[in-house]
């Protein structure tokens, strides 16, 4: 969002920068005018100058490898420090496992048009967000190069929005090549719409360790009308059960993402997410995110029009990892956080018995619980986070 970024910088790149950064730097070095550089915006005489956006960069294989030579890299954290392997190893451990993890993209683009997602910015720029892929051999070569520098990496996570957008033939070639030349456990993200049993089984023998899938809400109404996410809940449930079955046979971990604290959900919508979580096997891990309104997304524009947020109000969207409820301080949201709390703690899992937890979500109990003030559920929600 150039209008926001230019509050704090003289110039910003608001689209893909692979091509334009070279042109931009060359112009600065030569002392030439750089204010017309595509994909960039500048503050000129107090006004914003937003240049045209180029078409999506397609030739991904032509890009250089990421630079992991640490001699000229530094860490800024309450001081400036020379980056070392020891520092980087420490910083790369944490998610989805507490071991050094390399996140790596093998494609750009996303097949979905979710109203809350940054991908919608690219749709605004280009009219669509086309899929572009790195060649498999190029991926393996860069991984070998990178792991040669970062020989402490224990897990690779491919950060593509949907790894299963690749064909079966491509996945077979990837699986064989990756197993022979890399051999580390790896993780992927997929969607219920692209999930195929045969694709999972192609990857399991080559080191697939974790699959992440976005559910976002257990309410079909929320998915259809609020999130513009064209995925059927029934299909997602089937896919989750299929993926979960590989935990026992292959040690596959399943991570599911949910978005809560959405002002456009009703309490009935929220309780459907709670019921979805109750039906999950205990070994399935869940991530709970609080809805953030990112400028330029459809849901941001709607919230702005409805007076829920103010334009470019950083308090509303800056802390996208915020950890407390704002819009849905109610019993139903508390139940979701309670369910996650019980699932997270091994010593408490014995209390995660479906019948009493299901009773807590029944209509008569919800009616009684709604008598209590919002402040009570705000306090209780903080206790179980």
Average pLDDT, integer, range 258-265:
96
Note the pLDDT of residue 316. 60
Note the pLDDT of residue 313. 66
Per the prediction, the chain carries an average pLDDT of 92
DSSP code at position 253: E
Q: Band the pLDDT of 176: cuts 50, 70, 90.
A: very high
Sorted by where each begins, the domain ranges of the chain are: 1-54
- For residue 87 the two structure tokens come to 């520092």
Q: Tell me: pLDDT of 252 over 70.
A: yes
Alpha-carbon span 331 to 367, nearest angstrom: 10
Average pLDDT, integer, range 2-6:
86
Alpha-carbon span 323 to 290, nearest angstrom: 7
Backbone φ and ψ of 102, nearest 5°? -100, 120
Average pLDDT, integer, range 107-113:
90
pLDDT tens digits, 126-169: 887 789 999 999 999 999 999 999 999 999 999 999 999 999 99
Q: Band the pLDDT of 319: cuts 50, 70, 90.
A: low
Note the pLDDT of residue 229. 94
Backbone φ and ψ of 109, nearest 5°? 105, 165
Q: Tell me: pLDDT of 318 over 60.
A: no
Distances (CA, A) of 247 to 76, 244, 354: 39, 6, 21
pLDDT tens digits, 18-61: 989 999 999 999 999 999 999 999 999 999 999 999 999 999 99
pLDDT tens digits, 271-298: 999 999 999 999 999 999 999 888 889 9
Note the pLDDT of residue 360. 92
Q: Tell me: pLDDT of 234 over 60.
A: yes
Average pLDDT, integer, range 232-252:
96
Alpha-carbon span 282 to 299, nearest angstrom: 32
pTM: 0.92
pLDDT tens digits, 357-375: 899 999 999 999 999 999 9
Q: Could you give the dihedral angle defined by the CA atoms of residues 76, 77, 79 and 83, in that order, rounded to the nearest 10 degrees?
A: -50
Note the pLDDT of residue 166. 95
Q: Tell me: pLDDT of 314 over 80.
A: no
Of 1-10, 289-298, 319-328, which range is least confident? 319-328
Note the pLDDT of residue 44. 94
Cβ-based neighbour number of residue 241 at 10 Å: 14
Percent of the chain residues topping a pLDDT of 90: 78
CA-based radius of gyration for the chain: 23
Distances (CA, A) of 382 to 92, 253, 333, 376: 28, 27, 11, 10
Helices (H) and strands (E) in the chain, counts: 17, 13
Q: Tell me: pLDDT of 205 over 60.
A: yes
């Amino acid at each position: 969002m150039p209008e926001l970024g230019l509050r704090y910088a003289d110039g910003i790149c608001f689209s893909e920068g692979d091509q334009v950064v070279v042109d931009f730097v060359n112009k600065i070095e030569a002392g030439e005018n750089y204010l017309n550089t595509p994909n960039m915006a500048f503050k000129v005489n107090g006004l914003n100058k937003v240049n045209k956006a180029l078409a999506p960069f397609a030739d991904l294989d032509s890009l250089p490898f990421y630079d992991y030579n640490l001699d000229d890299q530094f860490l800024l954290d309450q001081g400036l420090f020379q980056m070392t392997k020891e520092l980087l190893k420490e910083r790369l451990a944490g998610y989805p496992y507490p071991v050094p993890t390399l996140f790596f993209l093998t494609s750009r683009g996303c097949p979905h048009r979710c109203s809350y997602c940054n991908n919608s910015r690219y749709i605004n720029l280009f009219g669509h967000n086309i899929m572009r892929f790195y060649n498999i051999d190029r991926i393996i070569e860069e991984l070998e190069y990178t792991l040669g520098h970062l020989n402490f990496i224990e897990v690779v996570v491919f950060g593509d929005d949907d790894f299963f957008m690749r064909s079966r033939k491509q996945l077979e070639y990837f699986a064989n090549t990756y197993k022979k030349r890399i051999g580390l456990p790896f993780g992927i993200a997929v969607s219920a719409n692209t999930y195929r049993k045969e694709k999972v089984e192609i990857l399991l023998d080559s080191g697939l360790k974790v699959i992440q899938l976005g559910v976002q809400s257990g309410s079909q109404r929320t998915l259809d009308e609020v999130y513009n996410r064209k995925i059927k809940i029934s299909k997602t449930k089937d896919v989750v059960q299929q993926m979960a079955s590989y935990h026992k046979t292959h040690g596959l971990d399943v991570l599911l993402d949910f978005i809560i604290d959405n002002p456009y959900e009703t309490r009935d919508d929220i309780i459907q997410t709670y019921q979805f979580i109750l039906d999950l096997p205990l070994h399935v891990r869940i991530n709970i995110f609080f809805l953030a309104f990112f400028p330029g997304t459809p849901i941001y524009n709607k919230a702005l029009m409805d007076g829920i947020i103010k334009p470019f109000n950083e308090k509303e969207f800056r802390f996208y990892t915020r950890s407390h409820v704002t819009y849905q301080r109610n019993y139903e949201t508390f139940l979701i956080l309670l369910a996650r709390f019980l699932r997270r703690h091994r010593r408490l899992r014995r209390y995660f018995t479906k019948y009493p937890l299901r009773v807590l979500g029944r209509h008569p109990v919800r009616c009684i619980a709604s008598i209590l003030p919002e402040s009570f559920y705000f306090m209780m929600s903080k206790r179980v986070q």
